[in-house]
Structure 1
Amino acid sequence: MPASSNFQNAIREAQSSALVGPNVVNKALPYVGGGMVLTALGVLGGLSMQPMPALGQAGSPLFFPLFIVAFIGEIVLFFMASSAANNANNAKALPLLSAFSLLTGFTLSGIVGLAYQVAGMGSIATAVIATGLTFVIASVVGKNMSDSVGQALSGVVGLGLVGLLIAMVVQIIGGLFAPEMFQQGTFELMIAGFGTVLFVGMAFVDFYTMPRTYRDDQYLAGALGMYLTYINLFMFLLRLIIALQGGGRRD
């Protein structure tokens, strides 16, 4: 998922206490919620096509090719929507973001389905509740952070994001040669745990950086950045739960 572009821009640009868009957070939040609803619909669509032995569901042979198409389309739509939203072309950005959210849900259904098979429905509920609680706490604390704390946390999160991306590249390359070492066990647990902590921090940073980065008419750009934060937090929470359960291995 193309998750880093908006984050890095926001962290880099939020260098002073001057508010560029004092109302941008309030204007963005309904669209963040709408994106989450569309993502949930995409997840349900993907799950309906996956094999689920516990539910007696054989799945569809079309799921994997559709997953590949959705993944490519998700990347293309991200850059198109991000460009339109940053230019405050909201009439163009909104349908692109809607389609992006649906495709994100479809691709996310893979890890949701794995979590269900490994740890049950409770794992998904736990990730949803934890993500929601993070949003509630971050919305209160993040808005009221001092500039010294906000800028320091932004810097730490920015460095952490770079480290996470490097670790994930190492995991992908290492997984080609030693999947047991890099895609399961301790390494996966470390990445999942670090990613969870990082995006919790990012949730707080979002509420501090958004009004210092985006004008009020760029609310969809702010909504996209915040949406990606919580989608990635949810995904890393699921990865953490799966890793704690042994990565789905059946010894």
Structure 2
Amino acid sequence: MAQQQTIRSGAGVRSAEIDQGLRAHMNSVYGIMSVGMVITGAAAWAISGLAVNDQGQLTQLGTAIYASPLKWLIMFAPLIMVFAFGALINRISAAGAQVFFYTFAALMGLSISSIFLVFTGFSIVQTFLVTAVAFAGLSLWGYTTKKDISGWGSFLIMGVIGLIVASIVNIFLGSPAIMFAISILGVLIFAGLTAYDTQKIKTDYIQHAQAMDREWLQKSAIMGALNLYLDFINMFMFLLSLMGNRE
């Protein structure tokens, strides 16, 4: 009897340690993601020209980007970096991965800086707040739900690939109807990915809780932050396309 109580007590302590570690891990994920969001916003705001005037006129660097073929490189560079990050994460240090993520966040800011020239400031702020509320609710649900939503992964990734292909095709077609459909599907897909990625971060931590090291924890937090960051940014951009008031 005493032995059983000792085993139960040890299991309870271990469970409490995992729960505490999980909360710290999730805080790290959201913290890294938040820093990335700040870097993205600052880069987009600076390149748009709003940092030096309230008319949203492009800076010299912004003009050099958008008035030259360099704009295509800036547009697709974040996508290339995402694939590169996945390939390099196991080869670089945690510190290197964090620098890579923040560099990616800055480049993403350059890539989306044109929103300050296309949409009103009020609609950008409004859409950001709507996205933040939706993201928080979806992420909380993904963290707390007892339902296993791991099966969503393949379907949602296929949806993302479809969105990328359709968006590239529509660059040349310029169809408002296709863009509207892409935006609706984009919001739904990245809403699902927000819940899915949150649950995956949680389950990955729990599954590796017995044999994890500090390096793994840091890299896992950075990778989780990247996934949630992408969910937020994409949901924001698709919502802005639907809700934003144009200049």
Q: What percent of counterpart residues are identical? A: 23
Which residue is 2:191 aligned to? 200
Aligned pair 1:236/2:238, yes or no? yes
- Residues 56 and 117 in structure 2, CA contact (< 8 A), matched pair in contact too: no
- What is the rounded CA distance, in whole Å, between the counterparts of 1:46 and 1:35 in structure 2? 17
Give the conservation status (yes or no) of the 8 Å contact 1:192–1:240. yes
Between the aligned partners of 1:161 and 1:73, the Cα distance in structure 2 is 17
Pairwise mapping of residues 114-133 of structure 1 onto structure 2 (< 5 A)? 114-115=118-119, 120-133=120-133
CA distance in 1, matches of 2:234, 2:94: 24
Paired residues for 1:205-216 under 5 Å: 205-213=196-204, 216=217
The answer as to 2:100 corresponding to 1:96 is yes
Deviations 1:72-114 (A, max 9, x none): 6535543443334355721111112111111100111113421
135-144 or 87-96, which moves further after superposition? 87-96
Q: Which has the larger radius of gyration?
A: 2
Q: Secondary structure at the match of 2:225?
A: helix
More contact order relative to length (CA 8 Å, sep ≥ 6): 1
Deviation at 1:49?
7.8
TM-score when normalising by structure 1: 0.70
* Matched residue, 2:180: 189
Change (3 A) 1:229 1:88: farther
When residues 56 and 200 of structure 1 are mapped into structure 2, their CA distance, relative to the original with a 3 A threshold, is closer
1:37 is aligned to: 38
Change in CA separation of 1:236 and 1:55 when aligned onto 2, cut-off 3 Å: same
5+ unaligned residues in a row in structure 2: which ranges?
Answer: 1-18, 206-215
Instruction: State the shift of 1:27 in Å.
Output: 2.3
1:220 maps to 222
Aligned-partner Cα distance in 2 for 1:193–1:123: 18
Deviations 1:173-195 (A, max 9, x none): 5x1xxx3xx2x2x2211111111
The aligned residue for residue 139 of structure 1 is 139
Residue correspondences, number: 211
